Structure 1
Amino acid sequence: MRAPSATVYRLTTRWGFDAPLDAVWNAIVDAEHWSTWWPGMDCVTLEPGDAQGLGALRRYTCRGALPLHLRFNARVTDISPQQRIEGRACGDLVGMGRCRLGHAQGQTTVCFDWQVHTTGVWLNRLAPLTRPLLRWNHDQLMRAGGRGLERLLARSAAGSTVKKESV
């Protein structure tokens, strides 16, 4: 059964950082610690997957600016270190998510793509009215994540600079 078009979301977010690719990658793949830098995102690992994280199953809880919690489980279905992570979600959101990373001229880019539909009865019934609010809420959550990761990377860079200077 296909989800009604009003409940289907195709969401893309792009972040850019003046930071090394490995530092950004390490923060992205360490989902259990997102809550330390990404306001509104919580994650618990249910199954760790292999050494690279392939097959990992995690439970996410997302809280944006609206008084709304979305909970879903996601399993990592594909991973190319420092390039891409893909997963399938089920729960309040069902579908596919992808995170792609790139690096050029000192700039690391992160692109999140989500193709999901909502499953909550009230969300789906009110979708024609709430769709713009949910998109806005998603954008607020993602902006908070980008700012949080930027702060984390700046702290990490400052710490590595201090260490290099003291050697």
Structure 2
Amino acid sequence: MFHFETNWIFAASAERLWQELVDLPNWPTWLADFRSVQVIESPVGAGSGIDSEMNVGTRYAITYRGSLPYSFRFVLEATSFEAPHRIELRSTGDLIGMGTWQIARTAEGCTATYIWQVTVANLFFQRLMVVPWLRSLAEQNHHRTMDRAYTALKRRLQG
């Protein structure tokens, strides 16, 4: 199991960040390692009614490829959210686990924390991840992905 915590600071409103986060089909515009995001199920009226992009139960098919020579295909499902503070996502497929975005307002804008607790489904990859230097490569890959995403999203939100 991997446990990642990513912390970002933005000179933008929590509401503006929220708009980007609930619009998963557009994540590849700032999270380029998400090669594709497609809505595969979208229950009508299942959410709070606040966001047309996301409802509880909405499922997204994701293809991810970072810096390493392999791709993961997984489904993210919105399990709960509280605008504009928290989004919880369940991952199934090649990556199994949970992701949670937490957004807090600050005097200068907002902060975002992403907690990603995930394991790989493939038994071969699971066995490789017990080798310390291979696990470290996978962790570095995740951090590079998130660093690139932060740079792109910060530019998008702050101009």
Q: Name the TM-score class by shorter chain.
A: 0.7 to 0.9
Q: Is the 8 A contact 1:63 1:141 kept in 2?
A: no
Q: Which moved more, 1:111-120 or 1:47-56?
A: 47-56
Residues matched between the structures, number: 148
Residue among 92, 95, 117 paired with 1:115? 117
Q: Which amino acid aligns with 1:34?
A: W
Q: Which amino acid aligns with 1:136?
A: Q
What RMSD over aligned residues (CA atoms) do the two structures have, in Å? Answer: 1.3
1:138 maps to which residue? Answer: 142
Deviation at 1:154, TM superposition (A): 2.6
2:130 maps to which residue? Answer: 128
Deviation at 1:144, TM superposition (A): 0.9
Q: Which of 1 and 2 has greater Rg?
A: 1
4+ aligned runs moved over 6 Å, structure 1? none
- Are residues 1:43 and 2:37 paired? yes
Q: Which amino acid aligns with 1:48?
A: S
In terms of fraction of residues, the more helix-rich structure is 1
Distance 2:90 2:27 in 1: 19
Distance 1:154 1:110 in 2: 14
Q: Which amino acid aligns with 1:35?
A: P
SS across alignment from 1:106: coil
Distance 1:37 1:9 in 2: 23
Deviation at 1:21, TM superposition (A): 1.1
Distance 1:111 1:37 in 2: 16
* Unaligned segments of structure 1, at least 5 residues: 1-7, 156-167
- Are residues 1:33 and 2:26 paired? yes
Q: Deviations over 1:77-106 (max 9, x none)?
A: 111010000021111111111111011112
Q: Which moved more, 1:25-34 or 1:40-49?
A: 40-49
TM-score (normalised: structure 2):
0.87
Residue among 79, 82, 85 paired with 1:80? 82
Over the matched positions of the two proteins, sequence identity in percent amounts to 30
TM-score (normalised: structure 1):
0.83
SS across alignment from 2:130: helix
Deviation at 1:137, TM superposition (A): 0.4
1:14 maps to which residue? Answer: 7
Distance 2:6 2:118 in 1: 14
Deviation at 1:63, TM superposition (A): 1.6
Distance 1:67 1:16 in 2: 30
